[in-house]
Amino acid sequence: MEKEKDEIMINNLKQYYIDSYKKEINATILDIKENKIYLDKTIFYPEGGGQPGDIGFINSTKVVDTQKDNDKIYHLVEDVKKFNIGDYVLLKLDWNHRYYYMKMHSAQHIISGLLYNKFNVRTISTHQGELNLTIEIDQNHFSQEDCYKLEDLANKVILDNKDISYIETTKEKAELFNMRRSIKVDKMIRIVDINGIDQIACGGLHVKNTKEIEKIMYIGFEKIRKHYRLIFRIADQVSKIYREYDRLIKQLCTLHSATLDSLYDCDKALLEKKIELEKDIKSLKKENTNYIITKLINSDTKNIIVKDISSYNIDFKDIDIDIDKAIFLYKKENDLLKWYIYLGKSFENYSINDIRKDVLSHIDGKGGGKFPVFQGKGNFENIEKSVASFIGYFDGREE
């Protein structure tokens, strides 16, 4: 008797199963914990099965999420201080939010059912986001042709106006159905049935008829855990993305003075030109860098040269010189010191490890390289000590 009483209370609590289209209801507050409100009944669906929790209002206070703790459902509100245990309150759903996810959840069943029945592909996981419906499948490849075929089949199901119904039965009887996923619970099973398309145990909320989904659009895929994750949009989000694509294409056509048919070739030619120009710029930058460095070095008759090049827009990786001198270049970028050491042929017997210990240790120099070039980063604070150590290290080598 106690078990039956508990089941009646739970069923009474979950009013969204009795009428998933009900937008308002009165209820009594049973408990309040932190910003969580527990009610004797609710039309707010708690997050589960890839479907987000409902939002809306309790009286005039916003419900920002709905969650569950076993068979208890709690409503997360912005200001819990407005409520007391025993209050008789009015619940109002954010219907647009709820109805959108009812459509999306129903669309997911259609797609997963078609994948299973028409392509022999199983659904591993799903996620219903603000924009996209994603379905991870048990395949490491799914062709673009099949993706579009799947989209066409799904939209035909919508046009066929198929009813979506529910069957409540025991696990034993449910296992006789041809379902695409095994049953993991032992209690009464709620099976969602889209005639001829999908039949599966599900606790989510769905529309009454497939026509309510309006439209399903495949927009791409991504690879995850060696599987494919297919990405879709549904209902009015399809129209929005079509219009966005149309707007962008028209803007690009205007920008390039191109037609729709010639836009790709025009954009490809511009990209090739951009790559060519970037190569020229890179070459000119390197040429300019080596011109500046060579001029700086040649202006100094010493064999041991130290230069602060902070005022020059130079990247050390662009330096390409061949000169028989020991050179220490450094520059300050923001609060960071970048250093560059070049050792000419006459200095090849000097150990970079000793130089790192005696010279770069002052600036906590980190980096490396291969003879004759070494570079890295460090601390600017003691650069004068490093400069003096570098010159002193090669003392007696100058001519």
Torsion sign (Cα): 358, 362, 364, 366: negative
* Domains of the chain and any CATH numbers: 2-93 (2.40.30.130), 99-243 (3.30.980.10), 286-393 (3.10.310)
Predicted confidence pLDDT, tens digits, the chain (399 residues): 344 444 444 567 899 999 999 999 999 999 999 999 999 999 999 998 778 999 999 999 999 999 998 889 999 999 999 999 999 999 999 999 999 999 999 999 999 999 999 999 999 999 999 999 999 999 999 999 999 999 999 999 999 999 999 988 888 887 778 788 877 777 788 889 998 899 988 889 999 999 999 999 999 999 988 899 999 999 999 999 999 999 999 999 999 899 999 999 999 999 999 999 999 999 999 999 999 999 999 988 889 999 999 999 999 999 999 999 999 999 998 888 999 999 999 888 888 888 888 899 999 999 989 999 999 999 988 999 999 999 888 874 444
pTM of the model: 0.72
Helix spans in the chain (H): 2-13, 15-18, 95-119, 144-159, 171-174, 236-256, 263-298, 352-358, 383-393
CA 155 distance to own-chain centroid? 27
CA distances from 43 to 22, 26, 39, 272, 351 (A): 7, 10, 10, 58, 77
Could you report how far apart the first and last alpha carbons of the chain are, in Å?
Answer: 106
**pLDDT of the residue at 397:** 43
Tell me the residue type at 142: F
**pLDDT of the residue at 164:** 95
pLDDT for 77-126, tens place per residue? 999 999 999 999 999 999 999 999 999 999 999 999 999 999 999 999 99
**pLDDT of the residue at 398:** 43
Sheet containing 227-234, strands listed edge to edge, beginning at the edge strand earlier in sequence: 123-128, 133-137, 227-234, 216-224
Let me know: does 28 contact 87? Beta carbons within 8 Å: yes
Distance CA 337, CA 360 (A): 11
Cis peptide, bond prior to residue 46, ω within 30 of zero: no
**pLDDT of the residue at 11:** 60
Q: Which residues, in sequence order, are CB contacts of 192 under 8 Å at separation 6+?
A: 109, 164, 165, 166, 198, 199, 200, 201, 202, 204, 206
**pLDDT of the residue at 251:** 95
**pLDDT of the residue at 49:** 78
- Tell me phi and psi for residue 387, to 5 degrees: -60, -50
| 114, two tokens | 């078609």
- Tell me phi and psi for residue 56, to 5 degrees: 160, -135
Distance CA 90, CA 338 (A): 65
